[in-house]
Amino acid sequence: MPFKSFKRLNIPDIVLIEYESFNDSRGFFSELYKKTDFLANGITYDYVQVNLSYSKKGVVRGLHYQLKPMEQGKLVYVVSGKVYDVAVDIRHGSPWFSKYVGVVLKPGYALWIPPGFAHGFQALEDSYFLYLVTKEYSPHHERCVRWNDQEVRIDWPIKENVIVSEKDSKCPPLKYAETNFGFPL
């Protein structure tokens, strides 16, 4: 089995995945996705787009999501570096609405974030970040929540000299963010 564990976090729809690395004198090999193992662990989505980003230490990207019918689930990996990855529940009626899960991701781990969550991360080191998404990017359906929303109160590890894009700095707080997600999705 190429995966060591599938662990459901404080919001049980979010899954931390530890994958196996097979090392030898040439380097290493890892299976990052295997449909049968993901299905066996309740992750039933297929992926239609793969994205790669590079972020300098201190960069915050997010909190992003897309409205239905272009809602995205995300399977995210750190290729190199280390990030603090965050998923905020934006599903109205959910017992976890406005709550978040935050986890440090580094190579060897992945995080599954289903539709109905705003996603973001902070680079704790210069980092390459890989996203597999369940629906294609749609600018018309893209929305965001302010990265430092006082209702959500994310405890970002790096507090000084945070780098945020102009676009992300203009995101509304969750109470004004447009969502069309109910619970259950």
Q: Quick one: tokens of 111? A: 């995080």
**Span between the terminal Cα atoms of the chain, in Å:** 30
Cα 185 to Cα 183: distance, rounded to the nearest angstrom:
5
CB 61, CB 145: distance < 8 Å: no
Please tell me which residue in 84, 109, 131, 141 is annotated as part of the active site: 131
Please tell me which residue in 19, 64, 65, 84 is annotated as part of the active site: 64
What's the Cα-to-Cα distance from 45 to each of 19, 69, 112, 158, rounded to whole Å? 18, 15, 10, 33
Of the candidates 157, 164, 165, the one whose C-alpha atom is nearest the C-alpha of residue 125 is 157
Q: Quick one: tokens of 151? A: 């209702």
Q: Has 119 been annotated as catalytic?
A: no
Cα 113 to Cα 24: distance, rounded to the nearest angstrom:
32
Active site residues: 64, 131
